[in-house]
A and B are shown apart, each in its own frame.
Chain A
Amino acid sequence: MSHILDKSSALRQGLVIFVYLAVLTALEYFVAVTFGAVSILVLVAVIKAALVMYYYMHIYKLNEDSDEDTHSYSYKTGTNRLGLWLFLLSDAFVFAGLMAVRINLLGLTRPHLNQLLGLAVTAVLLISSFFMNRGETAMAHGDKKGFITNVLITFVLGFGFLLGVVAVEWPAAIAEGLTASSGTPGAVFFMMTGMHAFHVFTGLIFLLVVMNNARKDVYSADQHWGVEAAAVYWHFVDLVWIFFYPALYLIGKLL
């Protein structure tokens, strides 16, 4: 399978996927506020996850034939890619564990949270994924300036998400009496958002590192594994939120 696209098609593809994700998110929110069918929310999350994993995280690249020369950059990228995905898989187990805890302890109920704020931070993270994809595409076509601009936007949006959760949502929840020690719903909420926010935080550091490297001309159109890794990691953080957002804000009856 050939996935080499020219730059404008690649950018357009990223935009189309972003539109799909946005439409699905809006649909998800609509379903949740109207008749709240959990099965549909799960279905939408799975479809969104598949789109992100295929089009933004290029999971199919794991299947690429490796170079014969084991010292070549492309061969090393292949093994690096496998290593990154294995790491993401193990990290996913942490999040899956938190999800299992949430389902087990709260079932079809959810804590009282600010719905608009939840939707807003979700949108911000989704848009940041869109710009991350643009940044990676730019670097894959040797556009260093485009890369830095887009990753900078990604960074700002990611930082906005982090602030939205930690500096706005958390105090708002605490003001309503939902604290980490107020009972199971609070413990679940802070553990899930906290673990996720921590990953966003490390992702932001990752973005700073690749931006700095790009400034020093470390990457090229052919050799930019660091950029790909940062992008895949960033999309992974978004991927987790695709499941955490409905789990915390949309599924079940209000407690």
Chain B
Amino acid sequence: MDKKIVWVGFLSLAVVAAAIMLTLVFAKPVSFYGTSYNEPYPTAPQIELIKSNGETFRLSEQKGKIVLLFFGYTSCPDVCPTTLAEFKQVMDGMENKAEQVQVVFVSVDPKRDTPEKIQKYVEHFDQGFIGLSGSMDELESIWKNYGIFREEVKSDSAFGYIVNHTARTYLIDADGNLRLSYGFQTPVENIVSDLKNLLK
């Protein structure tokens, strides 16, 4: 067979193969600031609690939205208000996509947090936030499912006791899967960037 035509074919394929390899090597994969769960992403454990208005909140019904899930309590002196204030900044940073993000704040202190109290508390930060509490039994299984550590510690403060608790934020994607988690005080713009990438 004509040698030239073999070379033409070989060269054509080699050029395309080289271009594909270069693209794959140098293409920037979407990288997230948050700590990513491994694929396949685990389904977020169900959270089913009565809201302050008497309706039942089900995490599974939030599909279609990205949920930022955080655990805390209303008497919390430091971590919780800081995180919620940052979430408010995150929502502002999301601009017209803010309605596709839902912040959910679940109590680690059911003895003092009623659904009404915690809902009122989160609304100080943003009207759209959801605050949830329930019985100790209900919450204990949720804490366990999410690997939340909490312990009551006596303190001299006016609140009587403080609750030490895990301060990670869990990002649940629009399909209801645990996707990313963030440590305390992750910069707001990093969370906004991840959310925007996920909503693309």
Is chain B a partner of chain A in the same complex? yes
A contact set with B: CB distance below 8 Å: 5, 9, 12-13, 16-17, 19-20, 23-24, 27, 31, 35, 37, 39-40, 43-44, 47, 51, 55
B158 at the interface (CB under 8 A from A): no
Q: How far is the CA of A195 from the CA of B41 in the complex (A)?
A: 47
> Which of A12, A19, A39 makes the CB contact (< 8 A) with B19?
A39
Q: How far is the CA of A238 from the CA of B12 in the complex (A)?
A: 19
Closest Cβ of chain B to A225, distance in Å, is 26
Indicate if the CB atoms of B23 and A37 lie closer than 8 Å: yes
Binds A, one of B1-9, B66-74, B96-104: B1-9
> Which of B1, B15, B19, B24 makes the CB contact (< 8 A) with A16?
B1
Q: What 0/1 readout, one digit per residue, does chain B (1-33) give for beta carbons within 8 Å of chain A?
A: 110010011001101100110011001000000
Closest Cβ of chain A to B163, distance in Å, is 46
Indicate if the CB atoms of B1 and A47 lie closer than 8 Å: no
Closest Cβ of chain B to A31, distance in Å, is 7
Indicate if the CB atoms of A27 and B16 lie closer than 8 Å: yes
Judged by DSSP, the binding face of A is helix
> Which of B1, B5, B15, B20 makes the CB contact (< 8 A) with A31?
B20
Indicate if the CB atoms of B19 and A40 lie closer than 8 Å: yes
Given contacts A20-B9, A23-B13, A37-B20, 8 further A-B contacts (CB under 8 A): A5-B2, A17-B5, A20-B13, A35-B27, A40-B16, A43-B15, A43-B19, A47-B16
Indicate if the CB atoms of B2 and A51 lie closer than 8 Å: no
Indicate if the CB atoms of B24 and A12 lie closer than 8 Å: no
Closest Cβ of chain B to A62, distance in Å, is 19
Q: How far is the CA of A12 from the CA of B2 in the complex (A)?
A: 10
Closest Cβ of chain A to B162, distance in Å, is 50
12 A-B interface contacts by CB (under 8 A): A9-B1, A12-B1, A16-B1, A19-B9, A20-B8, A23-B13, A24-B12, A39-B23, A40-B20, A44-B16, A47-B12, A51-B8
> Which of A13, A20, A23, A24 makes the CB contact (< 8 A) with B2?
A13
Closest residue of chain A to B11 (Cβ to Cβ) is A47
Most buried by A among B12, B23, B27: B12
Which B residues lie within 8 Å of A17 (CB)?
5
Closest Cβ of chain B to A128, distance in Å, is 21
> Which of B2, B9, B23 makes the CB contact (< 8 A) with A9?
B2
Indicate if the CB atoms of A16 and B9 lie closer than 8 Å: yes
Which B residues lie within 8 Å of A55 (CB)?
5
Known: A35-B27, A39-B19, A39-B23. A16 touches B13 (CB 8 A): no
Which B residues lie within 8 Å of A9 (CB)?
1-2
Closest residue of chain A to B200 (Cβ to Cβ) is A253
Closest Cβ of chain B to A27, distance in Å, is 6
Which B residues lie within 8 Å of A16 (CB)?
1, 5, 9
Indicate if the CB atoms of A13 and B5 lie closer than 8 Å: yes
Which B residues lie within 8 Å of A24 (CB)?
12-13, 16
Q: How far is the CA of A23 from the CA of B1 in the complex (A)?
A: 19
Closest Cβ of chain A to B22, distance in Å, is 9
Q: How far is the CA of A206 from the CA of B77 in the complex (A)?
A: 85
Closest Cβ of chain B to A66, distance in Å, is 25
Known: A16-B1, A16-B5. A35 touches B12 (CB 8 A): no
> Which of A5, A13, A40, A51 makes the CB contact (< 8 A) with B23?
A40
Closest residue of chain B to A47 (Cβ to Cβ) is B12
Closest residue of chain B to A13 (Cβ to Cβ) is B5
Closest Cβ of chain A to B11, distance in Å, is 9
Closest residue of chain B to A12 (Cβ to Cβ) is B1
> Which of A5, A13, A20, A39 makes the CB contact (< 8 A) with B12?
A20
Q: How far is the CA of A197 from the CA of B27 in the complex (A)?
A: 37
Indicate if the CB atoms of A43 and B16 lie closer than 8 Å: yes
Which B residues lie within 8 Å of A13 (CB)?
2, 5
Closest residue of chain A to B20 (Cβ to Cβ) is A40
